[in-house]
Structure 1
Amino acid sequence: MDKQPTGRIRERYNSKGEVAFYQVILYLGRDYKNKKKEIFLRADTREEAEDLLQKSLAEFVLGTFVPPSQMTLENFIYEEYLPKYCKPHVKATTYKDYIMTSKYICKVLGKYKLHVVTTTMIQEFINDLVVKSSLSERPLSHRTIVDIRRDLSIFMRKAVELKYITSNPVDGTKIPRPRKNLDEEKTVILSREEVQKLLKYVKGTPQECWYSLIIDGTLRRGEALGLTWDDVDFENSIIKIRKNWVEGYEKLELTTPKSYSSIRAIKLTEKTMKLLRREKARYKECKFKTPDFENSNRVIFMDNGKPWLPKSFYRKFKRTLSDAGLPDISLHALRHTGISLQIEAGANVKAVSTRAGHSDTQITSNIYTHTTKAMEQATVDIMSAILDKAVNI
């Protein structure tokens, strides 16, 4: 039977003969080959070393002692977490996001051993991201910093579960509040007049159908690009959202939608259905005329039948906005536009939320009910009428 664990403290010197640090040596008995089981810890002061020694011996007796891992944070992320606990269990786009946040994390903290990474180090890392990205000279957005902190916490939580460390050092860190630039007001959606200008500019082209479909159906980019002709019910003017065309970490994939609530059926306007019928006829025509036509069965397709690459489709949209003299918005903002216009027109928020594939109506309310100038003017008109009436009493 092993004896009770013991330990001692040894001073370690630098080349000048000064004490560089204190080494705590734990003697934990012998292994099955009768070799000594020793663990070496490090402390900066004699007092810290004595506290560490007593704490470690007590934890060993209680069975809660976790030996310090020699694995670095970068090794843990890329050799343990991502291949074993992430990639087999998440969608390709989610895995791609983890890869991106990992690059920011490992650039600064990756070289340190897991047990060496402290809450203070992580807080300094987060604070620096507000000023300058670890991968460039530019500061990161508040949303990106939130994502980086969240993923780092996920990594560390798994390290705790696997007994590499005893606690999650991300706990206790905070993200600085985002700074608002009151001098800039970025356009995030198109107004009703701008939507009409866009559709007029692309009238008679395939883009008229594509953008009408996204606005009318409030579709995400991947949902629109993943739509196939068997998802379109021409008789009942309904499209079924059950696929998602996305760029994963290594390849393009036709996956299931973003979430369970994203799988839905959407009734479209007669105008959009008319455009879809026109595109279906064009698909058949291209199939007949093009020798190397790829029968992808996609609703949004290139002339050779191939599905659009998400990035290429995005760039085409941005060029169209520029050529039409419209605000520079993201493609996702076209979906926001559709939702906002429906709310502005008085549609029920619950119905709009279901149509958009949101899991919670609060998401719809929080993001979209404040976005249009028309709604602001409507509120002003209501208050004006109330106040005018009060004055005339």
Structure 2
Amino acid sequence: MASYQKYKTKQGEKWMFKLIVGIDPGTGKKIMTTRRGFKTKKEAQAAYLNLRQEIESGLHVKQSLTYEDVFKEWWGIHSRTIKPSTIYSKQSKFRKHILPKFGKLKIKDISKGYCQRMINDLSNEIDSVNDIKIQASLVFKYAIKMDYILKNPMEYVTIPKKEESFLAKSEERNYWTKNEIRDFLILAKKHMSKQNFMMYYLLIYTGMRKGELIALTWDDIDLNEQTININKTMFFEKGKEIIQTAKKYASNRKIDIDSQTTKHLFNWRTKQKEALLADGIVSKPPNVLLRADMRPIRLAYPNELLNSFMTVYDLHRITIHGLRHTHASMLFEAGASIKEVQVRLGHKDIQTTMNIYTHVTKTMSKKTAENFLNYMQLE
């Protein structure tokens, strides 16, 4: 039962009531709540009846939940369904950008306007603001699922565009042409170690992701059948190597390799064994690419070396992922179908392959124009 009391204010007499709303599980003590500011005792009694209904239905508890409370509840479930690399990435986003903005707020009080202002502010700080919106929204969706709130305030938030996005600019080409590939490999063979040359050669000639190549073992390669079985990727967390299965079903694939790549791999396997024997290591090398202590190479190493090499030899600048794009472009130029490229690169969504197809090299564009001209010749 509630206890009612009249008290004096500068505006005149008011009514209040006190009510036991529960028992603290930690101390065993009663938890009291007080409601003030009612003009009459009748008004206070009506407010008490509403509060009692909320407590009995559980709604009162839901209304006290903060965003961080719901996040912890959701994360306890969600973190069991994703891979270690994804866990690390998502934790970072919530810790750095989302919980500082939302964490202490009651989830029922977070409005669309607040979400929009939060996204506006973040858009001035980071480029991946759309992903922040997506991640934050997952907690709101869970809250709806658990009947903590009725609507997702993040759902209709608009991602602001930066001023430079409205300026006309030429798109940077993140792939190499056939001649640029040839020039790079000539320089790489001359100035890089055998392992480093092999690393970039395989990235260009197989289209593997960097993590897939670093995780690649000799057991994955069948030189007789001329195939590579791509079934895992390498992820580093706090300096420790973590091998995990390929990130999507489509990423688990077996690809054919040409006779030249097969020959390069055969020669490299022989050279690698000889180098290890010279250092007194007789055990079979597990990975195609290794450090001196037999561990897989660092995840950042291919990027660092490529950036340095392009600077020294004044090459057209691309990223490591650009080598994968290069492989796809060369496949298209060689006449491969979109479906063939999708399967070889392990794209789950064919739209990803289509996006590369729309950015094929000028050589292919010229071939298309010439083919049309030849077809239209009337004489």
The TM tier, using the shorter chain, reads: 0.7 to 0.9
- The question of 1:327 aligning with 2:311 is answered no
The aligned residue for residue 97 of structure 1 is 89
Partner of 2:294: helix, strand, or coil? Answer: coil
CA distance in 2, matches of 1:60, 1:370: 58
- The question of 1:221 aligning with 2:213 is answered no
Assess, with a 3 A threshold, how the Cα gap between structure 1 residues 258 and 58 changes in structure 2: closer, same or farther: same
Assess, with a 3 A threshold, how the Cα gap between structure 1 residues 187 and 41 changes in structure 2: closer, same or farther: farther
Unpaired runs of at least 5, structure 2: 38-46
Assess, with a 3 A threshold, how the Cα gap between structure 1 residues 36 and 112 changes in structure 2: closer, same or farther: closer
The aligned residue for residue 46 of structure 1 is none
Partner of 1:255: helix, strand, or coil? Answer: strand
The aligned residue for residue 346 of structure 2 is 357
The aligned residue for residue 67 of structure 1 is 61
Q: Is the 8 A contact 1:240 1:266 kept in 2?
A: yes
Q: Which amino acid aligns with 1:219?
A: M
Partner of 2:254: helix, strand, or coil? Answer: strand
Assess, with a 3 A threshold, how the Cα gap between structure 1 residues 164 and 39 changes in structure 2: closer, same or farther: farther
Match of residue 316, structure 1, among 286, 305, 313 = 305
Q: Is the 8 A contact 2:212 2:233 kept in 1?
A: yes
Give the superposed CA RMSD.
Answer: 4.1
Assess, with a 3 A threshold, how the Cα gap between structure 1 residues 41 and 355 changes in structure 2: closer, same or farther: farther
Q: Is the 8 A contact 2:332 2:360 kept in 1?
A: no
Q: Is the 8 A contact 2:216 2:287 kept in 1?
A: yes
Partner of 1:67: helix, strand, or coil? Answer: helix
Q: Is the 8 A contact 2:21 2:55 kept in 1?
A: no
Q: CA deviation at 1:248?
A: 3.6
- The question of 1:124 aligning with 2:117 is answered yes
TM-score under structure 2 length normalisation = 0.79
Q: Is the 8 A contact 1:287 1:305 kept in 2?
A: no
The aligned residue for residue 139 of structure 2 is 155
CA distance in 1, matches of 2:315, 2:329: 18
Match of residue 112, structure 1, among 102, 105, 110 = 105
CA distance in 1, matches of 2:35, 2:245: 50
Q: Is the 8 A contact 2:209 2:321 kept in 1?
A: yes
Q: CA deviation at 1:72?
A: 4.0
Match of residue 193, structure 1, among 152, 160, 179 = 179
Q: Which amino acid aligns with 1:360?
A: D
CA distance in 2, matches of 1:41, 1:278: 84
Match of residue 294, structure 2, among 305, 308, 318 = 305
CA distance in 1, matches of 2:54, 2:22: 14
Q: CA deviation at 1:96?
A: 2.0
Q: Is the 8 A contact 1:295 1:305 kept in 2?
A: no
CA distance in 1, matches of 2:281, 2:168: 54
The aligned residue for residue 199 of structure 2 is 210
The aligned residue for residue 233 of structure 1 is 222
Q: Which amino acid aligns with 1:232?
A: I
Unpaired runs of at least 5, structure 1: 43-52, 134-139
Q: CA deviation at 1:235?
A: 0.2
The aligned residue for residue 40 of structure 2 is none
CA distance in 2, matches of 1:128, 1:121: 11
TM-score under structure 1 length normalisation = 0.77
Map 1:281-296 to 2 at 5 A. 281-291=270-280
Assess, with a 3 A threshold, how the Cα gap between structure 1 residues 346 and 196 changes in structure 2: closer, same or farther: same
CA distance in 1, matches of 2:285, 2:100: 41
CA distance in 1, matches of 2:367, 2:52: 68
- The question of 1:85 aligning with 2:74 is answered no
Aligned residues: 359
Q: Larger C-alpha radius of gyration, 1 or 2?
A: 2
Q: Which amino acid aligns with 1:147?
A: D
Assess, with a 3 A threshold, how the Cα gap between structure 1 residues 121 and 164 changes in structure 2: closer, same or farther: same
Q: CA deviation at 1:38?
A: 5.4
Match of residue 168, structure 1, among 152, 172, 188 = 152
